[in-house]
Amino acid sequence: MSPVAENYLGITGYLVFWFLFAIALGLFIQRVSLLIRLLKLGRPENRFDRLAYRFINMLALAFTQWRNLKAATLKDPSPIGHAFMFWGLGLFFIAYLVFIGFGSGFGLFTVLSGSAFEIVFFSILDIAAILVIIAMLWVIIKRYVIRPERLKREETTEEKITQAALIAVIIVLMLLHYGMEGFGYAAYGIPGSWPPLGTALADTLVNAGISRDSLVAVYKSLWWFNYILLLGAVIYAPRSKHLHPLFSFSNMAFKNLNPGGALKTIDIQKKEEWGVSRIQDFSWKQLLDGYACTWCGRCHTVCPAQLSGKSLSPRELILGMKEHLLKVGPDLLKAKAAVAAVPVATDEAGAAGSEPAVAPPESPEKAFIGDVISEDAIWACTTCLACQEVCPVNNEQMHNIIDLRRYLQMAAVTETARDTMKNLRVRGNPWRGTMYARTDWAEGLDIKIIGEDSHVDVLYWVGCTEALEDRSLKVAQAVARLMKQAGVNFGILGEEEMCCGDPARRLGAEHLFQMLAMNNIQLFSSYNIKKIVTACPHCFNTLKNEYPRLGGQFEVIHHSQFIADLIRRNLLKINQLEEAVVTYQDPCYLGRYNGIYQPPRQILKSIPGVTLVEMEPNRKDGFCCGGGGGRMWLEEDTGQRISEMRLSQAMDTRVQVMATACPFCLQMFEDAARVKEVDESLKIRDIAELVAEALETPADAGDKA
Amino acid sequence: MKNIIVCMKQVLDPEIPLSLFHIDTEARLAIPPKATPPVLSPFDENALEAALKIKDARESNVTVISLGKKLNRVVVSSALAAGADHLVLLQDEAFGDFNTYLTAGALAAAIKKLGEYDLILCGLQAADTNTGQVGTGIASMLGIPCITEASKVELDDNKVRVEKASADGSEVIEAPAPAVVTTNYEVGVLREPGVEAFMSAAKKPITTWDARELGIETADTDCFSLVRMYEPTQEGKCEILEGAGPEEKAEKLVNRLVEVKVI
């Protein structure tokens, strides 16, 4: 029996049912269509390729809860709670659709009532509801009692209301499930002992001697209350501050399918692509990130800039984008409509007259840069990608920051980065004032220069830092020694090599990046280069993941992969190294950017005498050295130094050597070790240096003979 | 609208590493290293910045003139990206042998040919030859005032106002426009163009004149000339003094320093 099948004040329940439904649906569509029109204020971005893959991927990510569950730890088991809530509410969603939608709405309850299907489904819901209630109780404890760092933020009243309302509605819906089961079964007949909780409650009610009329009346009231609450939730959800349940699916479907750290290539001929300073300058996908955000705060608590006391919070950027869009978006839509309404001017007077309407409307209350995010925060990002790694909904915080930087560099390069940029433009390297020529490190090593002899199998791309910065020259020498011993036929570009463009690009100077990149790509093509090895993860990422967009397709290998392979093929004769306990720093651009975690560890483990001790955090959770994103060339004058924080984590492992595979890490940690006065006891080395140190020299070979 | 002319020289990059710097003593020339492009003289970049600061404050037209035997288009047109409006290139085989006097003459001829000017800015000196003669040379050839080593330059309706540091403070000097002003680094480091300025530079006009177009038929390159150009040799010698204790070491060190007349 369904309450819709009855008349209320002479009106059939079906009419009431569909009338209420139509109102709710109308209000839902009205709001969601506004939210979508707001997204369309953003710039176009093509995320419609490989649609089938995107769809399947979305389903897989959502239903396995993978991105959420991988964050679960003993200390923070919230992801498990979220997964149960998601699965549980998913089942309820199906139940509402089947039993309320089809069952009551279309009168199928006559078939469904008392069916085996209903009994099985309700039994499952009995268990699911408990799990959801437990999960919600955990949410309450977590959000209101424990309040861990990631959830601490100054919430607005509206946000507080949303949060409380969502928790309350979910719990009440779960309780209503039991209530309706109990009173329904008690009134219309108990099917047996399944579903367990529903029938137990029904038994209790019957035993309590409540009259059937009362049972029916309560059941009907509960049913309508449940229905109205559901419709209320449908109306409220898109108007609330928590749009995550509605938009996280689409955000996963439209996620970036390119390597996560490869920046968007902009057409520098097109003014409208130069940078982002207003909310409508972001792409629709970037705006969608804001809707999908669930305020979990994970990005906030892994961000090295945030942790070291800078003003950047990736969480606040994303939430700020959403708030700003919701606030100024409707006015922008009106302005857009006004522009569209202006008839195409046919004469000069008309053109002049239409100008005020065409002018881009400025935000009425707040500017984006300055109010939503400060310039300091924009420059604080080290592009380490930790935020994107932990984001459960595939948001792309780092890319938004780079787009903002692009705007800040649009008219003129900012003063702090000026020397570096000028040096890049004029001399093709970011190391102003270097005393070295690009081939100085190779003196006496008998290394081919490709301009003189291009018959090589491998180009060793040295990179500016390893060619021009004092400490890093030794890494280049070590790499060359290893390749020589392994009999690799390689060459270098010498003076013809220019910066790969990474610093320019990460600091927002896209034109400089493209200039440098095009120059290098042409050079590779002219020498018919097919295979490139580099010891710099930043060059590696740029050459491998970003040059293809500019037409440069080459096989690019990081020296950690290359050396690991040489060792595997027994091409390097490695001796015992003096006993050393070593820890390994995952460079962001090697690990998170390119998923290379194993080869450097294999190398270290293959050196006899070396004991590898992991520091916390490591691999995907590894902590940045502070040198990425062009930060290598900017001052770090606020808060703690990121490099010193990471060095402390290395010191906690009590190792003698901190190994890394990136010239920026090397420099940052050497400086940090000097500041902390541990440079005697803790050596900072590139993995190539350690292998080269352990190489069998001709003298060793002689001893053995 | 004010017309400002900035004279900028393309020089061998003064920041190239030592191992790339070589001099051909026979030809009395620095040999430009392969794959290392020249730069605009940093002193002249200061002059351009001074011009752009004036342009920021009032409507002005900034013309950059560069003279040389062979000018690198990318290098000289970076002046346009930085904010200059017009580039005039004086390019001729003959300019290769030009000394400062002849260079000043050619630049003065170009300035006259341009016709309208309120202020001519030059760097304090060129970053390669460091003579500091061209700016004053232009002024004398045009018969207009010249103020050297300015740290701040302002252009009023009909006068040039300059601040310059002196031994015991700073001086403010005024001269009727047009005038030549040479600037030092204190006027500011040249702004670095962003993508906007960079892209707009491509649309700005570039004029090229050779010696004939400037009316320079013959040039007396022998009026004064470079006799010798060479890399100075520097020798470093390290001596280690032994001693039983710090006192003895210190005494030996003092004696030795007196011996070699350092103290």
Is there a contact between A380 and A479 (Cβ–Cβ < 8 Å)? no
Contact yes or no for B192 and A418 at CB 8 A: yes
- How distant is the Cα of A688 from the closest Cα of chain B, in angstroms? 27
Which residue in A has a C-alpha nearest to residue B41's C-alpha?
Answer: A426
Chain A residues lying within 8 Å of B34, measured CB to CB: 495
Is there a contact between B85 and B63 (Cβ–Cβ < 8 Å)? yes
Tell me, what amino acid is at A562?
A: F
Query: Sign of the CA dihedral A465, A467, A471, A473?
Result: positive
pLDDT in tens, A293-331: 999 999 999 999 999 999 999 999 999 999 999 999 999
Q: Residue A515: pLDDT above 50?
A: yes
In whole angstroms, give the CA distance from residue A192 to residue A185. 10
Interface of B with A (CB under 8 A): 13, 15-20, 33-37, 39, 75, 78, 189, 191-199
Interface of A with B (CB under 8 A): 268-269, 271, 274-275, 406, 409-413, 418, 421-422, 425-427, 432-437, 440, 494-496, 509-511
Instruction: Mutate one of A413, A424, A434, A507 to test the B interface: name it (highest B CB count within 10 A).
Output: A413
Is there a contact between A618 and A588 (Cβ–Cβ < 8 Å)? no
In this complex, the residue of A413, A440, A509 whose CB is nearest that of residue B19 is A440
The tokens for A454 are 């291009």
CA A243 vs CA A58, A159, A172, A495: distances in Å: 17, 11, 20, 54
In this complex, the residue of A269, A418, A427 whose CB is nearest that of residue B189 is A418
In whole angstroms, give the CA distance from residue A480 to residue B70. 38
* Residue whose pair of structure tokens reads 């089947």 in the numeric block: A98
- How distant is the Cα of B73 from the closest Cα of chain A, in angstroms? 13
The answer as to CATH 3.40.50.620 being correct for domain B2-214 is yes
Q: What is the mean pLDDT of residues B72-83?
A: 94
pLDDT at A366: 63
In whole angstroms, give the CA distance from residue B77 to residue B39. 11
Chain A residues lying within 8 Å of B75, measured CB to CB: 426
Which residue in A has a C-alpha nearest to residue B40's C-alpha?
Answer: A426
DSSP assignment of chain B equals -EEEEEE--EE--TTS-GGG-EEETTTTEEEPPTT---EE-HHHHHHHHHHHHHHHHS-EEEEEEEEESS--HHHHTHHHHHT-SEEEEEE-GGGGG--HHHHHHHHHHHHHHH---SEEEEESS-TTT----HHHHHHHHHT--EEEEESEEEE-SSEEEEEEEETTEEEEEEEESSEEEEE-GGG-PPPPB-HHHHHHHTTS-EEEE-TTTTT-----TTSS------PPP----------SSHHHHHHHHHHHHHHTT--
In whole angstroms, give the CA distance from residue A113 to residue A3. 13
> What is chain B's mean pLDDT, rounded?
92
Chain B residues lying within 8 Å of A513, measured CB to CB: none
Q: What is the mean pLDDT of residues A628-642?
A: 95
Is there a contact between A318 and A282 (Cβ–Cβ < 8 Å)? no
Is there a contact between A244 and A319 (Cβ–Cβ < 8 Å)? no
pLDDT at A1: 63
Q: Which residues are bridge partners to B89 per DSSP?
A: B66, B208
Strand, coil or helix: A491: strand
Is beta strand A458-461 parallel, antiparallel or unpaired with respect to A490-492?
parallel
* Residue whose pair of structure tokens reads 């260079």 in the numeric block: B103
Is there a contact between A14 and A224 (Cβ–Cβ < 8 Å)? no
In whole angstroms, give the CA distance from residue B205 to residue B199. 13
Contact yes or no for A437 and B39 at CB 8 A: no
pLDDT at A579: 83
Q: What is the mean pLDDT of residues A327-352?
A: 74
Percent pLDDT > 90 in chain A is: 77
DSSP assignment of A525-560 equals HHTT--EEEES-HHHHHIIIIIGGGGT---EEEEHH
In this complex, the residue of B18, B20, B192 whose CB is nearest that of residue A413 is B192
CA A170 vs CA A173, A225, A612: distances in Å: 5, 14, 49
Chain A residues lying within 8 Å of B20, measured CB to CB: 437, 495
Tell me whether residue A580 is exposed, middle or buried, using C-beta atoms within 10 angstroms of its C-beta: 0 to 12, 13 to 18, 19 or more.
buried
- Residue A148: is the preceding peptide bond cis (ω within 30°)? no
DSSP label at residue A101: I
Q: Residue A344: pLDDT above 80?
A: no
* Residue whose pair of structure tokens reads 């009431």 in the numeric block: A16
In whole angstroms, give the CA distance from residue A398 to residue A314. 8
Tell me whether residue A453 is exposed, middle or buried, using C-beta atoms within 10 angstroms of its C-beta: 0 to 12, 13 to 18, 19 or more.
exposed
Q: Where are the domains of chain B?
A: 2-214
Span between the terminal Cα atoms of chain A, in Å: 95
- How distant is the Cα of A414 from the closest Cα of chain B, in angstroms? 8
Chain A residues lying within 8 Å of B198, measured CB to CB: 511
The tokens for B236 are 């470093």
Beta-strand ranges (E) seen in A575-702 are 580-584, 610-612, 657-660, 683-686
In this complex, the residue of B17, B33, B75 whose CB is nearest that of residue A436 is B17
pLDDT in tens, B98-110: 889 999 999 999 9
Phi-psi group of A230: left, alpha or beta (phi > 0 → left; psi -120 to 50 → alpha; rest → beta): alpha
Is there a contact between A286 and A403 (Cβ–Cβ < 8 Å)? yes
In this complex, the residue of B33, B192, B199 whose CB is nearest that of residue A268 is B199
In whole angstroms, give the CA distance from residue A471 to residue A627. 15
Span between the terminal Cα atoms of chain B, in Å: 60
Is there a contact between B185 and B153 (Cβ–Cβ < 8 Å)? no
In whole angstroms, give the CA distance from residue A501 to residue A538. 9
Q: Count CB atoms within 10 A of the CB of residue B165.
A: 14
Q: At what angle are helices A284-292 and A13-39 packed, to 10 degrees?
A: 130
Chain-centre distance of CA A83, in angstroms?
A: 19
Chain-centre distance of CA A496, in angstroms?
A: 36
pLDDT in tens, B186-221: 999 999 999 999 899 999 999 999 999 999 887 777
Chain B residues lying within 8 Å of A434, measured CB to CB: 17
- How distant is the Cα of B212 from the closest Cα of chain A, in angstroms? 32
Instruction: Mutate one of A410, A426, A439, A510 to test the B interface: name it (highest B CB count within 10 A).
Output: A426
Query: Sign of the CA dihedral A663, A667, A668, A670?
Result: positive
pLDDT at A343: 66
Which residue in B has a C-alpha nearest to residue A513's C-alpha?
Answer: B195
Instruction: Mutate one of A422, A498, A499 to test the B interface: name it (highest B CB count within 10 A).
Output: A422
Percent pLDDT > 70 in chain A is: 95
C-alpha triplet A53, A56, A61: angle, nearest 5°: 115
Chain A residues lying within 8 Å of B193, measured CB to CB: 412-413
Q: What is the mean pLDDT of residues A387-402?
A: 95
Alpha helix positions (H), A190-243: 196-207, 212-236
Please, which pLDDT band fits residue A353 given cuts at 50, 70 and 90?
A: very low
Q: Which residues are bridge partners to B24 per DSSP?
A: B29
Chain B residues lying within 8 Å of A274, measured CB to CB: 195-196
Q: Which of A114, A122, A233 is nearest to A181 (CA)?
A: A122
Q: Which residues have a Cβ under 8 Å from the Cβ of A574 and sit 6 or more positions away?
A: A567, A606, A607, A608, A691, A694, A695, A696
Query: Sign of the CA dihedral A621, A627, A631, A636?
Result: positive
Contact yes or no for A495 and B195 at CB 8 A: no
Which residue in A has a C-alpha nearest to residue B36's C-alpha?
Answer: A427
- How distant is the Cα of B74 from the closest Cα of chain A, in angstroms? 10
Q: Residue A703: pLDDT above 80?
A: no
In this complex, the residue of A274, A412, A433 whose CB is nearest that of residue B193 is A412
Q: Which stretch of A69-83, A561-575, B68-82 has the lowest confidence by average pLDDT? A: A69-83
Which residue in B has a C-alpha nearest to residue A511's C-alpha?
Answer: B195
| ipTM greater than 0.85 | yes
pLDDT in tens, A534-543: 999 999 999 9
> What is chain A's mean pLDDT, rounded?
91
In this complex, the residue of A422, A426, A510 whose CB is nearest that of residue B195 is A510
pLDDT in tens, B110-141: 999 999 999 999 999 999 888 999 999 999 99
Contact yes or no for A426 and B13 at CB 8 A: yes
In whole angstroms, give the CA distance from residue A259 to residue A541. 9
Q: Residue A279: pLDDT above 60?
A: yes
Residue A659: φ, ψ to 5° = -95, 150
**CB-side exposure of A577: number of CA atoms within 13 Å?**
24
pLDDT at A405: 96
pLDDT at B239: 87
Q: Count CB atoms within 10 A of the CB of residue A440.
A: 17
Is there a contact between A520 and A536 (Cβ–Cβ < 8 Å)? no
Contact yes or no for B18 and A425 at CB 8 A: no
In whole angstroms, give the CA distance from residue A407 to residue A536. 28
Tell me, what amino acid is at A192?
A: G
Question: For chains A and B, what is the number of CB pairs under 8 angstroms?
Answer: 69
In whole angstroms, give the CA distance from residue A691 to residue A568. 13
pLDDT at A358: 39
Is there a contact between A534 and A556 (Cβ–Cβ < 8 Å)? yes
In this complex, the residue of A269, A411, A422 whose CB is nearest that of residue B194 is A411
Is there a contact between A509 and B195 (Cβ–Cβ < 8 Å)? yes
pLDDT in tens, A201-216: 999 998 888 888 999 9
Tell me, what amino acid is at A598?
A: Q
